């Protein structure tokens, strides 16, 4: 079920911050009332598509920060594995230089609560608890507003990398809606015309476009 329009699930788990420090009890609650959050899941540390996405978010981090948006990543790896990967140079397949938080969801409960776990627990015929599917997170991305409400979500299958520029566009759209009370039509981008959410507004927009 979609989380759009609902409060983002609560959690308090370990994370690595500033690319070098393990902290306990990391939560998105720290951003409530202060910043929007782009919270994204990736399948696994030390893999192939994942570092391209994580580094792409880092390359665009200044664009998010100047918009007052925090970026937070998460996977089902441990905080120790996160730290090891963060300490590994890019030339060796690492993500050295990433400074935004990486959440460690080793219990898989955060991924489950956000609806992005690529499998589920079940019982076999003998009553033993088993896991069916891939015990990692899909490439879920959530735009969470200052009130802690999910305003946008996308979930990609494991081999499909996401577009970081699209997340910036969605942040801009959210800010435009909140500032001007207009709605953003298809392919809207910062600087383009939006429209009022009325029949007259739609007609006027369509007549000019």
Class of 13-161 per CATH? alpha beta
Looking only at the bridges linking them, the beta strands covering 102-104 and 69-75 are parallel
pTM of full prediction above 0.85: yes
H helix count then E strand count, the chain: 6, 9
Instruction: Give CA–CA dist 149/144, Å, rounded.
Output: 5
Instruction: Give CA–CA dist 180/109, Å, rounded.
Output: 38
pLDDT per residue, tens digit, the chain (209 aa), is: 899 999 999 999 999 999 999 999 999 999 999 999 999 999 999 999 999 999 999 999 999 999 999 999 999 999 999 999 999 999 999 999 999 999 999 999 999 999 999 988 899 889 998 889 999 999 999 999 999 999 999 999 999 999 999 999 999 999 999 999 989 889 999 888 888 888 887 778 788 88
- Residue-level pLDDT at 120: 87
Instruction: Give CA–CA dist 12/158, Å, rounded.
Output: 25
Q: What are phi and psi of 91, to 5 degrees?
A: -65, -20
> Where in the chain is CATH 3.40.30.10?
13-161
For 48, 75, 117, 125, 206, the CA distances from 131, given in Å and listed in that order, are 24, 17, 11, 13, 51
184 has catalytic annotation: no
Contact yes or no for 137/45 (Cβ under 8 A): no
Instruction: Give CA–CA dist 33/164, Å, rounded.
Output: 24
Of 3, 15, 16, 50, the active-site residue reads: 50
Contact yes or no for 38/71 (Cβ under 8 A): yes
**Distant-in-sequence, close-in-space partners of 168: CB < 8 Å, separation ≥ 6:** 60, 63, 64, 67
Edge to edge, what strands does the sheet with 150-156 contain? 21-26, 13-17, 102-104, 69-75, 36-41, 139-144, 150-156
């Amino acid at each position: 079920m979609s989380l759009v329009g609902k409060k983002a699930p609560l959690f308090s788990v370990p994370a690595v911050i500033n690319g070098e420090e393990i902290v306990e009890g990391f939560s998105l609650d720290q951003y409530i009332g202060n910043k929007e959050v782009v919270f994204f899941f990736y399948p696994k540390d030390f893999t192939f598509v994942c570092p391209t996405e994580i580094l792409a978010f880092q390359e665009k981090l200044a664009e998010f920060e100047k918009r007052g948006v925090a970026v937070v990543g998460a996977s089902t790896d441990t905080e120790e594995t996160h730290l090891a990967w963060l300490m590994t140079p890019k030339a060796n397949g690492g993500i050295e230089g990433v400074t935004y938080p990486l959440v460690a969801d080793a219990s898989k409960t955060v991924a489950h609560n956000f609806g992005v776990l690529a499998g589920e627990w079940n019982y076999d015929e003998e009553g033993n608890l088993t896991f069916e599917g891939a015990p990692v997170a899909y490439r879920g991305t959530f735009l969470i507003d200052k009130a802690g409400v999910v305003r946008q979500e996308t979930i990609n299958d494991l081999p499909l990398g996401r577009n970081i520029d699209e997340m910036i566009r969605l942040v801009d759209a959210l800010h435009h809606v909140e500032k001007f009370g207009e709605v953003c039509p298809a392919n809207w981008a910062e600087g383009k015309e939006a429209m009022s959410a009325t029949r007259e507004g739609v007609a006027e927009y369509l007549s000019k476009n």
